[in-house]
């Protein structure tokens, strides 16, 4: 392939294109060009040039965290969606918003708050764009009440590898016309197509919020001879989730497995303070009388338990198994030498684990926890992010039941494997 | 001998003796679903008892190139379960086991033939329920709900089937048994399968989320002199930041029909009634109730009734729930339409429907899930009057045009099926539809699963050009690099 011809062809699209620099690397792979389309049509022209010249493309939104994914097999063009940054439609009376892929979640939240509304998703990574949010399917504490991005998405426009622009869903919440491509694209890590815009259902901002926090000072013991934190959680969490008080989130923060852990519960609504008080009583007893109500979240709320150079795992498991898995994590930490920091939803059964340690320690920890989580409790452990040295020793995805069907979907959408090749499950 | 006959001869080997129906009289009981004017006698009907048997039947269909259609309870309203005369109808009525109830993890595992309501009945005693509640919930099957992504009156607050299904075991059109789980990494194939109307395979086991029963439920009926005032109240409730569990509306004609059928005793002289249900923690419901009552009065409600007991709540719902059947009392025949508009467009769309009534001389009774803009206009006609059925059909189609023009959808919950496949191009471009069908091609390249439904023109799938099937050789060799 003649680089100059390709460069000319990209130039001729009229879309802003520049030569890629060091800062544009995708997990260590440097693209040759960065394209900055300003509309779905412009994405489509770029994709058509890519198709004509067999160029591999990776989409990026905020871009700061791109290196965290698996390394793409190849990447010629980075499609940077930062210029698709408008909110073309906010129909407040319909509780619906359409936003372009490059809008950051913070900017969107500001626009919606002006009308007393919100996208009821917590996004734990500052700077996340709507496209990145959907492509990674990331979610925070309130997943327990509102689900994840897929549950609030009601329409998408996508651009396929061959430049086809397609939409599904629409701008009404209730709609069963046709297949729901939005579901398919949510969590697809840019491997099926590029998301150009998305329409979401909104919620009114709650009149008030209250957080009930309680700390278990006793660490989780290995053997559980003394009443351990795990036992405490075994009684305290169901008491909360089975109460009719409808918490929006039930989160745990356990920054060091040798130390105490904190549980925080969010309630939302006009009567939040009152419900918070009742929850406090409910929690106080099993948790040893330390529960408190506050109007502000604890500082760790809706933050990932990892920093940039850590490995980040996501554990998904039935909620009743979670307390059993806490001692397992402590054992795995002792056995492997890795240092986990754990945070996540006790009510939805999704925990994030930030890991520090040497690559073999991280691999050891991941293996032990995955064996137990998958083997004994039917859970899943996914490696969301890992530094390259650690990544080499890790199976990022673990078990995926319908992998061959996923491959077939990929083959239909991107037969030449030009979109983020190699970044996804099973090498998709 | 036709392929169907060859296949039929082999069914006995994979199914129990009484599970194959070929008797023409018995076959005819399956000739339609709830959309009764589309009929076809199935080539053969099978009543399998488990996933393995369904998989075996589907594999036979593949070998003989014979299409198959799944059927649950047959309550669908878009002809989704309309059989093929040249195909196999796979009925799930013998798969009605509740496999597991797991309260601590808030989930239940059920076979596809289990009725929607049976799940709630099984867990109600423990303070839980299954949230999606289609009005047909006493009879419709959970397999059908998954296929249609069914909603219900309470989906305004709680969402649809897709928000409450955690996993599904399916038989793919290849005859393979595969588990699709929300928990698994990878593409959300579960989300794509739900709502695919039986065109991507057959659900054989479904894991549903159970929800905690709310502490308090308050139901209120507000009567208005006209539909505009009712619509205004709906908008004001939403604008006040209240998300009720349900907001339903009926117009004068629908009220008249319900009165004739079930004597629901809605306030005399009402040009519209609103049914608003609030649920949740008691303290929240009290706050919301105060707001809703005030808004209804401010919007001109001349009477407000509040249900103080379960019986009174049932009485309020009775008129609304009977509305479809009730129009049978005031009209010899009717079409149930199912369009959606943005809530704020309701007044304009209702005015448009009024104009259509005049233009065509056809009456329309309006019943709708007002909270989410899902209209169920009942287009009334007399099929003994020549030309009236055609005019009713025309009105029904024009109503969908109105919905699409106002940014809405041609179906909110009844699905596309055979009935609305031809309307799909009014909402989607050829590229949109072709792209959706890429999913179809991935699951069912030969198009044997429920062909002729959803899409107006089937996409020819063909082979994927230059694609290597299966894993990359390096991955197969155990080099984890590609993960
Ligand atoms: C594998 C992985 C692991 C991560 N782990 C962490 C972590 O440990 N901590 C943390 O703080 N953040 C992490 N992130 C980042 C975070 O999850 C969000 O992805 C990120 O903040 C999303 O915002 P962004 O707009 O910056 O997306 P980007 O970082 O630019 O892109 C994220 C992914 O989404 C795709 N993508 C972006 N936009 C589109 C689009 N419009 N259409 C299609 N695909 C698109 C990209 O190709 C990429 O795969 C991780 C991301 C990935 C991909
Ligand atoms: C009076 C009445 C009220 C209704 N109210 C509502 C309502 O409030 N909300 C609503 O959403 N719907 C409503 N419906 C429509 C209907 O009840 C739903 O669509 C329901 O989900 C259909 O279930 P079923 O078991 O009857 O499916 P069927 O009619 O038998 O089949 C429907 C579709 O599902 C497919 N299918 C069936 N089983 C499976 C399976 N196991 N795997 C894959 N595909 C399968 C069929 O091929 C067909 O395409 C109503 C219907 C009636 C008659």
Average pLDDT over residues A42-56: 97
| Nearest-ligand number for the alpha carbon of B90 | 2
What's the CA-to-centroid distance between A135 and ligand 1, angstroms?
Answer: 7
Are B404 and B66 a contacting pair, CB within 8 Å? no
pLDDT of B296-354, one tens digit each?
999 999 999 999 889 999 999 999 988 888 888 899 999 999 999 999 999 999 999 99
Which residues sit opposite B57 in a β-bridge? none
Give residue A342's pLDDT band: very low, low, confident or very high (50, 70, 90).
Answer: very high
* Partner residue opposite A181 with nearest CB, options B243, B436, B472: B436
* Residue A138: per-residue pLDDT: 85
CA distance B335 to B38: 13
ipTM field: 0.96
> Distance of CA B267 to CAs B153, B255, B271, B364, Å?
22, 10, 10, 21
CA distance B450 to B71: 10
Task: Give start and end residues of each alpha helix (H) in A288-380.
Answer: 322-336, 359-377
CA distance B283 to B278: 12
Using DSSP, state whether A76 is helix, strand or coil. Answer: coil
Which residues sit opposite B211 in a β-bridge? B129
Average pLDDT over residues A32-40: 97
* Residue B393: per-residue pLDDT: 95
Burial A13-32 (b: 16+ CB within 10 A, else e): bebebeebeeebbbbebebb
* Percent of chain B topping pLDDT 90: 90
User: Helices A229-241 and A322-336 sit at what angle, rounded to 10 degrees?
Assistant: 150
Which of A:18-57 have CB within 8 Å of B? none
Which residues have CB under 8 Å from A317's CB, separation 6+?
A325, A349, A351, A373, A377, A378, A379, A380, B183
Does residue A6 surpass a pLDDT of 70? yes
pLDDT of A261-308, one tens digit each?
899 999 999 999 999 999 988 887 777 767 899 999 999 999 999 988
Place of tokens 């969107």: A108
Reading phi first (left if > 0) and then psi (alpha if -120 to 50, else beta), residue B137 is in: alpha
CA distance A396 to A313: 9
DSSP state of B212: E
Which of A:296-315 have CB within 8 Å of B? none
* Residue A260: per-residue pLDDT: 85
Does residue A227 surpass a pLDDT of 50? no
Beta carbons within 10 angstroms of residue A356's beta carbon: 15
User: Which of B77, B30, B10, B237 has its CA nearest to residue A95?
Assistant: B237
Which of A:387-416 have CB within 8 Å of B? 392, 394-409, 411-413, 415-416
Which residues have CB under 8 Å from B171's CB, separation 6+?
B51, B54, B55, B58, B177, B178, B201, B202, B204
Is A105 or A138 the better-scoring residue by pLDDT? A105
Residues of A in contact with B243 (CB under 8 A): 203-204
Which residues have CB under 8 Å from B141's CB, separation 6+?
B72, B73, B92, B93, B112, B113, B114, B115, B116
Average pLDDT over residues B178-184: 96
Q: Hey, which of A27, A34, A68 would you mutate to test ligand 1's pocket, going by the most ligand atoms within 8 Å of its Cβ?
A: A68
Are A249 and A347 a contacting pair, CB within 8 Å? yes
Q: Which two tokens stand for residue A16?
A: 């802003």
Dihedrals phi, psi of B15, to nearest 5 degrees:
-130, 160
Does residue A1 surpass a pLDDT of 60? no
Does residue B410 surpass a pLDDT of 80? yes
**Minimal-distance CA residue to ligand 1 atom 23:** A128
Q: Which two tokens stand for residue A166?
A: 């397609």
Does residue B477 surpass a pLDDT of 60? no
Place of tokens 């198009």: B447
Does residue B470 surpass a pLDDT of 60? no
User: Helices A40-52 and A3-12 sit at what angle, rounded to 10 degrees?
Assistant: 160
Is B196 or A222 the better-scoring residue by pLDDT? B196
Which residues sit opposite A197 in a β-bridge? A100, A157
* Partner residue opposite A427 with nearest CB, options B281, B464, B475: B475
* Partner residue opposite B243 with nearest CB, options A172, A203, A409: A203
| A&B contacts, CB < 8 Å | 281
User: Which of A324, A313, A314 has its CA nearest to residue A372?
Assistant: A324
Domains of chain A and CATH, by start = 1-205+400-428 (3.30.465.10), 209-294 (3.30.70), 311-396 (3.30.70.2740)
* Residue A183: per-residue pLDDT: 98
| Nearest-ligand number for the alpha carbon of B372 | 2
Please give the number of the atom of ligand 1 that sits closest to the Cα of A354. Answer: 8
Does residue A45 surpass a pLDDT of 80? yes
CA distance A294 to B297: 36
What's the CA-to-centroid distance between A133 and ligand 1, angstroms?
Answer: 7
Does residue A359 surpass a pLDDT of 70? yes
* Residue A286: per-residue pLDDT: 72
Chain B interface includes A188 (CB < 8 A): yes
Does residue B392 surpass a pLDDT of 80? yes
Q: Which two tokens stand for residue B63?
A: 């070998």
Please give the number of the atom of ligand 1 that sits closest to the Cα of A138. Answer: 17
Domains of chain B and CATH, by start = 3-91 (3.30.43.10), 98-212 (3.30.465.10), 214-329 (3.30.70.2190), 331-419 (3.30.70.2740), 421-476 (no CATH)
User: Which of A375, A242, A317, A146 has its CA nearest to residue B103?
Assistant: A242
Beta carbons within 10 angstroms of residue B449's beta carbon: 25
* Residue B460: per-residue pLDDT: 83
Residue B180 distance to chain A (closest CA, Å): 6
DSSP state of B337: -
CA distance A223 to A229: 12
Which residues have CB under 8 Å from A212's CB, separation 6+?
A264, A265, A267, A276, A279, A280, A283, A291, A292, A293, A294
User: Are B191 and A181 an interchain contact pair (Cβ–Cβ within 8 Å)?
Assistant: no
pLDDT of B429-465, one tens digit each?
999 999 999 999 999 999 999 999 999 998 888 776 5
> Distance of CA B268 to CAs B229, B274, B314, Å?
16, 14, 19
Does residue A88 surpass a pLDDT of 90? yes
What's the CA-to-centroid distance between A59 and ligand 1, angstroms?
Answer: 9
Does residue B398 surpass a pLDDT of 80? yes
Vertex A156 angle, CA A154 and B339, to 5°: 45
* Percent of chain B topping pLDDT 70: 96
CA distance B297 to B320: 21
CA distance A416 to A56: 9
User: Which of A426, A414, A401, A413 has its CA nearest to residue A168?
Assistant: A413
Any ligand 1 atom below 6 A from CB of A59: yes
Are A262 and A236 a contacting pair, CB within 8 Å? no
* Residue A323: per-residue pLDDT: 82
- DSSP sequence for B181-195: ETTSSS--HHHHHTT
* Residue B479: per-residue pLDDT: 40
CA A16 to mean position of chain CA atoms: 30
Does residue B173 surpass a pLDDT of 90? yes
pLDDT of B191-248, one tens digit each?
999 999 999 999 999 999 999 999 999 999 999 999 999 999 999 999 999 999 999 9
> Distance of CA A326 to CAs A287, A331, B155, B450, Å?
16, 9, 36, 46
* Residue B447: per-residue pLDDT: 96
**Minimal-distance CA residue to ligand 2 atom 9:** B134
Residues of A in contact with B107 (CB under 8 A): 318
Which of A:348-377 have CB within 8 Å of B? 349
Give residue B481's pLDDT band: very low, low, confident or very high (50, 70, 90).
Answer: very low
Task: Give start and end residues of each alpha helix (H) in A88-228.
Answer: 105-113, 130-136, 143-146, 149-152, 181-185
């Amino acid at each position: 392939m003649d680089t100059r011809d390709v460069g000319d062809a990209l130039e001729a699209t009229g879309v802003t294109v520049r030569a890629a620099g060091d800062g544009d690397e995708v997990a260590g792979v440097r693209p040759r060009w960065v394209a900055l389309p300003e509309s779905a049509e412009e994405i489509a022209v770029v994709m058509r040039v890519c198709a004509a010249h067999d160029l591999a493309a990776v989409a990026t939104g905020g871009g700061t965290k791109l290196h965290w994914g698996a390394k793409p097999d190849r990447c010629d063009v980075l499609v940077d969606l930062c210029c698709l940054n408008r909110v073309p439609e906010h129909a407040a009376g319909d509780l619906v918003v359409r936003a372009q892929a490059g809008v950051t979640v913070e900017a969107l939240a500001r626009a919606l708050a002006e009308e007393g509304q919100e996208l009821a998703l917590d996004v734990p990574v500052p700077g996340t764009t709507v496209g990145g949010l959907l492509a990674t399917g990331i979610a925070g504490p309130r997943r327990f009440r509102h689900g994840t991005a897929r549950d609030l998405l009601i329409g998408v426009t996508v651009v396929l590898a061959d430049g086809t622009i397609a939409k599904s869903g629409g701008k009404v919440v209730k709609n069963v016309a046709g297949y729901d491509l939005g579901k398919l694209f949510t969590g697809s890590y840019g491997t099926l197509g590029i998301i150009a815009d998305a329409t979401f259902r909104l919620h009114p901002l709650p009149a008030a919020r209250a957080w009930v926090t309680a700390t278990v000072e006793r660490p989780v013991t290995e053997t559980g001879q003394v009443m351990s934190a795990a036992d405490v959680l075994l009684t305290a969490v169901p008491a909360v989730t089975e109460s009719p008080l409808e918490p929006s989130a039930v989160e745990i923060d356990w920054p060091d497995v040798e130390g105490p852990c904190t549980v925080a519960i969010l309630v939302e609504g006009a009567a939040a303070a009152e419900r918070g008080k009742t929850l406090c009583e409910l929690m106080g007893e099993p948790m040893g009388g330390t529960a408190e109500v506050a109007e502000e979240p604890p500082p760790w709320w809706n933050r990932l338990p990892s920093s940039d150079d850590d490995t980040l795992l996501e554990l998904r498991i039935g909620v009743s198994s979670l307390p059993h898995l806490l001692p397992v994590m402590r054992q795995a930490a002792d056995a492997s030498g890795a240092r986990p920091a754990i945070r996540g939803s006790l009510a939805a059964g999704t925990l994030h684990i930030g890991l520090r340690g040497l690559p073999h320690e991280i691999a050891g920890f991941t293996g032990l926890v995955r064996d137990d989580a998958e083997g004994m409790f039917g859970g899943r452990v996914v490696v969301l992010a890992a530094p390259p040295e650690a990544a080499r020793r890790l199976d990022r995805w673990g078990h995926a039941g319908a992998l061959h069907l996923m491959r077939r979907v990929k083959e239909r959408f991107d037969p030449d494997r030009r979109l983020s090749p190699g970044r996804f499950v099973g090498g998709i | 001998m036709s392929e169907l006959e060859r296949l039929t001869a082999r069914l006995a080997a994979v199914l129990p003796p009484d599970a194959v129906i070929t008797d023409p009289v018995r076959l005819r009981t399956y000739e339609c679903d709830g959309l009764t004017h589309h009929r076809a006698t199935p080539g053969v009907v099978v009543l399998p008892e488990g996933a393995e048997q369904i998989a075996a039947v589907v594999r036979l269909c593949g070998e003989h190139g014979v299409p198959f259609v799944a059927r649950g309870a047959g309550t669908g309203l878009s002809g989704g379960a309309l059989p093929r005369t040249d195909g196999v109808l796979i009925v799930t009525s013998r798969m009605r086991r509740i496999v597991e109830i797991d309260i601590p993890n808030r989930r239940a595992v059920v076979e596809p033939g289990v009725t929607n309501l049976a799940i709630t009945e099984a867990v109600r005693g423990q303070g839980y329920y299954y949230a999606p509640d289609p009005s047909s919930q006493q009879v419709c099957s959970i397999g059908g709900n998954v296929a249609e992504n069914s909603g219900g009156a309470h989906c305004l607050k709680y969402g649809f089937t897709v928000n409450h299904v955690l996993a599904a075991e399916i038989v793919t059109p290849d005859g393979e048994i595969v588990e699709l789980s929300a928990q698994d990494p990878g593409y959300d194939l579960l989300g794509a399968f739900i709502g695919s109307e039986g065109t991507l395979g057959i659900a054989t086991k479904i894991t549903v989320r159970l929800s905690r029963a709310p502490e308090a439920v308050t139901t209120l009926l507000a009567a208005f002199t006209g539909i505009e005032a009712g619509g205004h109240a709906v908008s004001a409730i939403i604008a006040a930041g209240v998300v009720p569990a349900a907001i339903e509306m009926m117009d004068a004609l629908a009220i008249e029909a319900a009165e004739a059928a079930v004597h629901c005793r809605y306030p005399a002289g009402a040009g519209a009634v609103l049914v608003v249900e609030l649920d949740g923690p008691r303290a929240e419901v009290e706050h919301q109730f105060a707001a809703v009552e005030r808004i209804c009065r401010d919007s001109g409600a001349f009477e407000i009734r509040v249900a103080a007991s379960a019986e009174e709540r049932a009485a309020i719902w009775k008129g609304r729930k009977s509305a479809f059947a009730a129009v049978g009392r005031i009209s010899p025949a009717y079409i149930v339409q199912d369009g959606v508009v943005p809530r704020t467009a309701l007044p304009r769309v209702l005015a448009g429907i009024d104009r259509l009534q005049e233009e065509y001389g056809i009456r329309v009774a309006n019943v709708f899930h007002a909270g989410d803009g899902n209209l169920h206009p009942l287009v009334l006609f007399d099929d003994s009057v020549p030309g009236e059925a055609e005019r009713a059909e025309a009105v029904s189609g024009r109503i969908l045009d109105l919905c699409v023009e106002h940014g809405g959808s041609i179906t909110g919950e009844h699905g596309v099926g055979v009935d609305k496949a031809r309307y799909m191009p009014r909402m989607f471009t050829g590229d949109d539809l072709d792209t959706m069908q890429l999913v179809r091609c991935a699951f069912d390249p030969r198009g044997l699963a429920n062909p002729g439904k959803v899409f107006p023109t089937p996409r020819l799938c063909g082979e994927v050009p230059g694609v290597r099937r299966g894993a990359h050789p390096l991955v197969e060799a155990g080099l984890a690099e590609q993960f």
